Amino acid sequence: MSKKNIHPDQYCVFGNPIAHSKSPLIHAAFALQTGQAMAYERRLAPLDGFALAARSFAAEGGKGANVTVPFKLDACALATELTPRAQAAGAVNTLRFDGDTILGDNTDGAGLVADIMRNAGVAIAGKRVLLLGAGGAARGVVLPLLEQVPQEIFIANRTVATAEALVAQFADALGHPGQLRAGPFTQPDGVFDIVINATSASLAGDLPPVPASIFGSHTLALDMMYGAQPTVFMDFAAQHGAQVRDGLGMLVEQAAEAFYVWRGVRPQTQDLLAQLRGSL
């Protein structure tokens, strides 16, 4: 074995807090599965010191990093180059260090779309999609959802102006007028095929004040949060006939997409997802 193969490539995830992150477990499984020589660790960055922490990691020879709360905007500012989807999201969750270049990408939307289409087996093309929330989590998934050409995406938010700004931002990505709309939580009318909760309400055990009439027996209701028990949103949706899903699949799929950005290899996700689900 030549000397350069002895040391695996270094990767990490930055966050604050970070101890709870499942990323090291996920990427270790992907590396093993694909035969990639890489090491992956958690790194706690000071709230006011993300850029320094990321640059230090790159200087130590780090090849790439995942970025979680609250540093996705800092990571966007740090990147010297942004992918179109990171630019559209205005936030970065994946960095690739390559000499002086810091590539910023956002794999959240691709992860969500892969989970809906591959794991849940639900097509997005031609469907009515309701996106709850207009913050960073929602912003990251609009472009990948639009690329699947749904009939419409309705962005509902407490502060309607924020949702309207998001619609205006993505107006040039539209296939046809009326595909993207905004309004308050109380406005969405009729049954939607896919309802995505991109608010952080579930963390506090709260529910966005949406009408129950948005759910039908063919609705897929997905909460970006996950835990051992279904979220309040999932319970509410299930009570009104919807099929429900949490954010664990999205977590695994966005990690697989980041792995592909770094290594050029796309790992399989099904077994790992089942394993993680069993360990919650």
The question of whether 127 is a catalytic residue gets the answer no
Q: Note the helical H segments in 184-247.
A: 232-239
Q: Does 56 belong to an annotated binding site?
A: no
- Is residue 270 a known part of a binding site? no
Check whether 135 is labelled as a binding-site residue.
Answer: yes
Cα separation, 227 vs 127, whole angstroms:
28
What is the enclosing helix (H) or strand (E) of 107? none
- 3 labeled binding residue: no
Q: Consult the annotation and say whether 4 binds a ligand.
A: no
- Name the region of 74 (left: φ>0; alpha: ψ -120 to 50; beta: rest): alpha
How far apart, in whole angstroms, are the C-alpha atoms of residue 51 and residue 20? 22
Task: Report whether 105 belongs to an annotated binding site.
Answer: no
The CA distance from 85 to 170, in Å, is: 11
Q: Which of 3, 4, 63, 72 is flagged as catalytic?
A: 72
Q: Which helix (H) or strand (E) holds 275?
A: helix 270-279
Tell me the two tokens of residue 13: 């995830």
Instruction: Give the C-alpha separation, 36 to 73, whole Å.
Output: 29
224 known member of a binding site: yes
The CA distance from 225 to 201, in Å, is 9
**Sequential DSSP letters for 40-73:** EEEEEPPTT-HHHHHHHHHHTT--EEEE-TT-HH
Q: Is 68 annotated as a binding residue?
A: yes
Asked whether residue 169 is marked as a ligand-binding residue, the answer is no
Helices and strands (DSSP H and E) totals, the chain: 11, 12
Query: Was 5 annotated as part of a binding site?
Result: no
To the question of whether residue 22 is assigned a binding role by annotation, the answer is: yes
- 247 marked as binding residue: yes
Closest-CA residue to 83 (of 98, 64, 102): 102
Which residue carries 């509902």 as its tokens?
A: 156
93 in a labelled binding site:
yes
Q: What does DSSP assign to residue 264?
A: S
Tell me the binding residues: 21-23, 68, 93, 108, 133-137, 224, 226, 247, 254
Q: Which residues are annotated as a binding site for NADP(+)?
A: 133-137, 224, 247
Active-site residue set: 72
Annotated binding residues for shikimate, written as ranges, equal: 21-23, 68, 93, 108, 226, 254
